[in-house]
Each structure stands twice: as structure tokens, then as C-alpha cells.
A = this chain, B = another copy of it.
Amino acid sequence: MPNYCLTVQYDGTEYAGFQIQPGQSTIQGELEQALFTLAREPIRIAAAGRTDAGVHSEGQVISFRTTTLTVPIDRLSTAMNTLLPQDIRVIMSSFVPEDFHARYSALHKTYRYQIYHGTFPNVFLRRYALWERERLNWDAVTECAQLFIGTHDFAAFAASGSSVKSTIRTMKNVVVDAESEIKTIRFTADGFLYNMVRNLVGTLLDVGRGKLDIGNVREIMDSKDRRLAGATAPPYGLFLERVEYP
């Protein structure tokens, strides 16, 4: 059966997250409805990352199998965009090998968190960056971020109540860029626990504010206790930037 792979951008502001939920506007719901219109059969899609309510995507990847889609592959993105709301765009469509799965085949995902520093909130960034009134110590943030690189048990940064088998993940890289007006923290890992990026960011922000030091963060990590880490950073600063496959 033909296996499809689509790259999808979205502004998550108006959605209750990626994952389909009855009675709620979701990214998955919109995508599956557009596919249903084109294929005239229900199609269940798999996604690389199930982003939360308010979280954005520049490079979400979805995959699905169907035999009833007759739109040529080079016109599929445009056909989908004609049916999708303006805040969701398919930017690439291709056929992939039979065994490709948007989630299970992913090697690495990169999430970017955006922070805006200024005396007043910026109206144009209110949906896309966390506003920080006070100047943060970005050198301390950068230093502390290196702690997360490598294979670690990230239990202290996972939302409580999640039922994953293992809380061990391998963080390939954490890159802090505080040079521009919009400061960014990029996390690249083989996988992320529920709310993990937002909890890591919340903790790093506390380091930038001087409320925690690198020793505290090492202790939090070792404790595996969610209650010790910083507050969960709000969703609207978070972007699923890129997914890498073999």
C-alpha cells in the first residue's frame, strides 16, 4: 500500500494540540478531515511529535497509508492547503518506503524555545515567544544547558502521571542563542518525555534569573523528582523545528 510522508507547519495558537480529541479543534483533526475529502475514506495519520495545545510547528512530519488518494504527489501539498485552514500548511509531500513511520522511524527531533526580552511585551511576538522583563544571565543558561547533553534519566523533567516505560533519553545537543532580539534554546534528542522541553526551559530560565545554579540543576536531575524542577514554560514559545530520519 502506498506510504505517504508530509511535512506540516502550523500556528498552534488556536488548537487544542496535535492529537485528535472529540469536540476540539486539533491539528490531526484538520489534517485527517482534509485527507478524507481527498481520499473519500477515513485515514489515520501518525506524527513525529504530538505537540501540545498552543505549541507551533515548522517541521512536523506525518505519515499514512492509503490506496484511494488519486491526487498526483507533486500536487498533494497544494490540494491539502486548499482544504486546510490558513494556520496549517503542508510544505512537502512524498512517497516513502513501506516500513517508514513518522514517529518510529525518527532519529532525532529538534524543538526550539523562543524568549523575548524587553521592557514591554512585543505585540507581534505575543503568540510566539515568552516575554521576560528582566535581563537573564545567558552565560549561566548556556553553561547549565550543557548538563543535559548525553544520555540521562530525565524523570525530573517529565510531567507527573505520564506512563512511559523509560524516562531515559539521549540529548544530542542543546544550543543557546542569545545574540538576537529573540533568544532561542534548541534541544535535539532521540525523543522527549511529555512536557520535557517546557520543563527544561522553565529550569534554565530559573538559572538565568539567578534562582538556581548549575549545582542545583545537577541535584534536580539526579533526584528524578519533578517537584524540584522549575515551572513548566508556557506552550506558545515552543516550536517543533525539525525531524531527522535515516
Binding site for B on A (CB under 8 A): 9-11, 56, 77, 81, 86-91, 119-124, 126, 128
Contact = CB atoms under 8 A, between A and B. Distances in A.
Nearest to A9: B123
Nearest to A126: B86
A10 B123 CA distance: 6
Give the copy number. 2
A199 to B, nearest CB: 24
A32 to B, nearest CB: 18
B81 A123 contact: no
Contacts of A121: 81, 86, 89
User: What secondary structure prevails in chain A residues at the interface with B?
Assistant: loop
A89 B11 contact: no
Contacts of A81: 120-121
A128 B119 contact: no
**Ranked 8 nearest A-B pairs via Cβ:** A11-B123, A9-B123, A91-B120, A89-B120, A87-B123, A89-B123, A86-B126, A10-B123
Contacts of A10: 123
B87 A126 contact: yes
Nearest to A121: B89
Contacts of A9: 122-124
6 contacts: A9-B123, A11-B123, A11-B126, A56-B123, A86-B123, A86-B126
Contacts of A77: 120
A124 B11 contact: yes
Contacts of A126: 11, 86-87
A128 B86 CA distance: 13
A124 B56 contact: yes
A120 B11 CA distance: 14
A124 B9 CA distance: 9
A67 B40 CA distance: 67
A222 B86 CA distance: 40
Contacts of A120: 77, 81, 89-91
Contacts of A119: 91
A47 to B, nearest CB: 16
A7 to B, nearest CB: 10
A91 B86 CA distance: 30
